[in-house]
Structure 1
Amino acid sequence: MEQHYITVPISRDNPQDVFTVNTKYRVIRRVGSGAYGTVCSAFDQQHQRFCAIKKMHRVFEKELVTKRCIREMKLLQLFSNHPRIIQLFDMDIVYGLDEVYLIFGCMDASLHDVIHSQQPLDTVHAQWFIYQTLSGLKYIHSANVVHRDLKPANILVNKDCDIRICDFGMARAFSQTNSMPYLTEYVTTRWYRAPEIMINSHNYSKAIDIWSAGCVFGEILGRKVLFQGRDHVDQLYKILGVLGLPNDISFWDPSEAVSAHIKNLCTTDGLPPPTEPVDFNAFFPSATPEAIELLKRLLHLDPAKRITAEEALKHPFVQPFSDSVEESLVPPYVDPQQYYIFEDVHNNSALKSMAIQEIEFFKHRMSQQELSESLLTNNTDGTITTAKRSHTAAVATTMRHFDSSSSWQL
């Protein structure tokens, strides 16, 4: 079927800043931008739903950017059926402009916006936010994939306090032996980066996502960034300043030289890191004992002793929200390694062809799916029913919805 496109300006200051999209989309306004693209809110007139459109520009100029685009397209298809992963509605490419567009389900804000707003957050908010984050991580990790860039800005929130994890451009798959062959890119925004990455960049596993989740959880509880280092050395010092420096740190690196270097870390005032952790109860005076205990387990310095997503979902702090649908796994027949064949390709023309093929395959699959759904027999009353999961009455009555007038709302 022939596609029709329209070019829409998204900036009053720069007339060259435009979105070229299918005419079924009515672009509303820009809601964010970053190094790899720009996001606008829009309305899908064909499906009668609001959505977010991410424009990835100059996709085929550099191998790194092309691979990031392919990676995100592939993993979103693998994960987007889970309730805690951003929904991928559509993909498109504008030939000749090196622009790829990803169309997502619409959310109201990022968790970063919520945390740093005036919106009150109570214990139930903290429980629900971290439960959902861990649920999403369990699903991602069950496919032997590490997100590698989990932070509040990459966790989106709607007015019902439901979250969805986004931005899989830096994710990586690894084998059952924990071998991770594609580790050349920058890993995780510094403030959410696990200490083992700063000490030994090749020594990491799913535990780095758990550390990031712990940093996010601490930020929810304290309403400020937990470890706000100026550089990677200061970042490590900030971590040890809160969690303390153990006598034995061989779990990071068995080298005596590395251990000596870490133990000689000092502040600009010449002070060494403390050997004992701070009192978390004083650090987070409003947090419950269960919240503090979970936070400590998420932020264990030894990655081998750090709690897993699956274990964390059984913790008493989040147990009231336990739900089998939330805690599902990627189907066992899925091999994430097949999603990474393109990583061994270093020819830009070949990578571009792979990206285009991915988009065309997705669009064909979605059109076939929509055709099948349109042929479904309606119920006797003329409607198609859908099952909607709900939480327990106790949780539902204690969960406060955010004020729609809050400043963080997009």
Structure 2
Amino acid sequence: MDEDPANNIHRDYKDPSGVSVTIFEDGAEQEPQLVALKKVIIPRIKDFRELHILRHVVRHSHPNIVRLMFSQRRKYKMDVAYTLVFEFIPTTLAKLKQVYSKERNVVDIKLCIWQLFAGLHHLKELNIIHRDIKPANLLVNPKTGRLIIADFGSAIFIPSYPDVYQGTYAVTRYYRPPELILGAKRYNCMVDVWSAGCIFAELYIGEALFAGTSAYVQLQLIYNKLGTPSADDLKDMQVLEKDYICAIKHQAIYPFGELFSVFEQLRYPEESNPASLLVKILDLNPEKRLFGRQLLSDNFFAELFQEGRRRNNGALVTDAISLEQRQHIIGTEVQTTN
């Protein structure tokens, strides 16, 4: 993707719901188009990893991953300033989650979650870990229901060599998986799966599932609802047992999780109660977390693909995801019902 000349960007329009501009291509005025701008200033000697990842994503586009339209680079004092131009999506899941939860908007919740996991499945195939999946980084078009994973500022490619140190301070605390809290030096896309599972629960209960005020409190909340890891779990978490013992020495131990009781109180219909599915997604052992085609084809999401299924606003679910898209992802024929 070539960088566009500065005179092709005109900041002549701003929308109340986000930053936007009018684009003119090749010096000739075209149909005005709203876009979102992100400005980043980095040291001249530093590699701009986010841009490399975004360009790679563009070459392997996906409807649930943000699309970089073009970028602009210029000198800024002793640093380098980048302007990244993205497709414009009007709001975020952070702004909509309370509405979905309060209205018990099950179809829209399932639609958002299915698209989130579809996007993460695509990132896994590209060997990319997002490392900051949270509602504020998920863009939503309320009209169509389309959800997009955005903000790749913390993203990395999965290292080719197993001994590469990836850094442990990643992912916003409420959505940080236990292996990172416990200091795992190596991890994979399952950290994103954990974050998505936390968001899944949050859309139902209307608040963060694990709202810890510190790393230790975060672990306490996780163990309260999900139990504590076994020795085999710690091995798969890439966590040393001595680090685990040190982390929990002042904490109570919960042999059984209490996640089911959280959702039993909400009294959702059985086919829309997410507890059984969430237990599989929010497994303390990252190697056992439900993900990919097996998750996306789970019967929990079946109602989304019933013929003529509509959202609360009357729009068809297929405005956001088509039956063909689902079939392409899960690799099987889609059965529709009236």
1-structure distance, mates of 2:70, 2:56: 14
The question of 1:226 aligning with 2:209 is answered yes
Letter in 1 for 2:37: I
- Alignment equivalent of 1:74, drawn from 41, 55, 64: 55
- Alignment equivalent of 2:293, drawn from 276, 300, 310: 310
Letter in 1 for 2:72: D
The normalised TM-score by structure 2 is 0.77
The question of 1:42 aligning with 2:57 is answered no
Measured against aligned partners, the alpha-carbon deviations of 1:329-349 in whole angstroms (never above 9, x if no partner) come to xxxxxxxxxxxxxxxxxxxxx
> How far off is 1:86 after superposition?
1.0
SS in 2 for 1:304: helix
The verdict on how the C-alpha distance between 1:27 and 1:273 changes in structure 2, with shifts beyond 3 A counting, is farther
The question of 1:155 aligning with 2:108 is answered no
SS in 2 for 1:104: strand
- Alignment equivalent of 2:220, drawn from 230, 237, 242: 237
Measured against aligned partners, the alpha-carbon deviations of 1:365-395 in whole angstroms (never above 9, x if no partner) come to xxxxxxxxxxxxxxxxxxxxxxxxxxx5432
> How far off is 1:170 after superposition?
1.7
The verdict on how the C-alpha distance between 1:309 and 1:287 changes in structure 2, with shifts beyond 3 A counting, is farther
Decide which moves more: 178-187 or 239-248.
178-187
Letter in 2 for 1:90: F
The verdict on how the C-alpha distance between 1:180 and 1:116 changes in structure 2, with shifts beyond 3 A counting, is farther
Contact 2:17 / 2:90 at 8 angstroms: preserved in 1?
A: no
> How far off is 1:217 after superposition?
0.4
The question of 1:26 aligning with 2:12 is answered yes
> How far off is 1:151 after superposition?
0.9
- Which residue in 1 is equivalent to 2:35? 51
1-structure distance, mates of 2:311, 2:213: 39
The question of 1:91 aligning with 2:63 is answered no
Contact 2:132 / 2:172 at 8 angstroms: preserved in 1?
A: yes
SS in 1 for 2:181: helix
- Alignment equivalent of 2:245, drawn from 260, 274, 289: 260
> How far off is 1:74 after superposition?
2.9
Aligned length: 299
SS in 1 for 2:85: strand
Contact 1:110 / 1:157 at 8 angstroms: preserved in 2?
A: yes
2-structure distance, mates of 1:394, 1:281: 34
Letter in 1 for 2:95: D
2-structure distance, mates of 1:111, 1:2: 31
Contact 2:93 / 2:135 at 8 angstroms: preserved in 1?
A: yes
- Which residue in 2 is equivalent to 1:292? 275
The verdict on how the C-alpha distance between 1:148 and 1:69 changes in structure 2, with shifts beyond 3 A counting, is closer
Measured against aligned partners, the alpha-carbon deviations of 1:200-228 in whole angstroms (never above 9, x if no partner) come to 32132221111011011011111111111
Contact 2:35 / 2:86 at 8 angstroms: preserved in 1?
A: yes
> How far off is 1:302 after superposition?
1.0
Contact 2:13 / 2:21 at 8 angstroms: preserved in 1?
A: yes
2-structure distance, mates of 1:183, 1:112: 28
SS in 1 for 2:288: coil
Gaps of 5+ in 1: 6-20, 33-39, 267-271, 323-391, 403-410
SS in 2 for 1:41: coil
Gaps of 5+ in 2: 25-29, 316-338
Decide which moves more: 240-249 or 178-187.
178-187
- Which residue in 2 is equivalent to 1:133? 116
- Which residue in 2 is equivalent to 1:280? 260
CA RMSD of aligned residues (A): 3.0
- Which residue in 1 is equivalent to 2:164? 181
Quote the sequence identity (%): 24
The verdict on how the C-alpha distance between 1:182 and 1:101 changes in structure 2, with shifts beyond 3 A counting, is farther
The verdict on how the C-alpha distance between 1:142 and 1:72 changes in structure 2, with shifts beyond 3 A counting, is closer
The verdict on how the C-alpha distance between 1:60 and 1:121 changes in structure 2, with shifts beyond 3 A counting, is farther
SS in 2 for 1:91: strand
Contact 1:59 / 1:69 at 8 angstroms: preserved in 2?
A: no
2-structure distance, mates of 1:401, 1:106: 23
The question of 1:169 aligning with 2:153 is answered yes
2-structure distance, mates of 1:231, 1:83: 35
Q: Which has the larger radius of gyration?
A: 1
> How far off is 1:183 after superposition?
1.4
> How far off is 1:42 after superposition?
2.3
2-structure distance, mates of 1:133, 1:178: 28
- Alignment equivalent of 1:108, drawn from 72, 90, 111: 90
Highest relative contact order (Cα 8 Å, sep 6+), 1 or 2?
Answer: 1
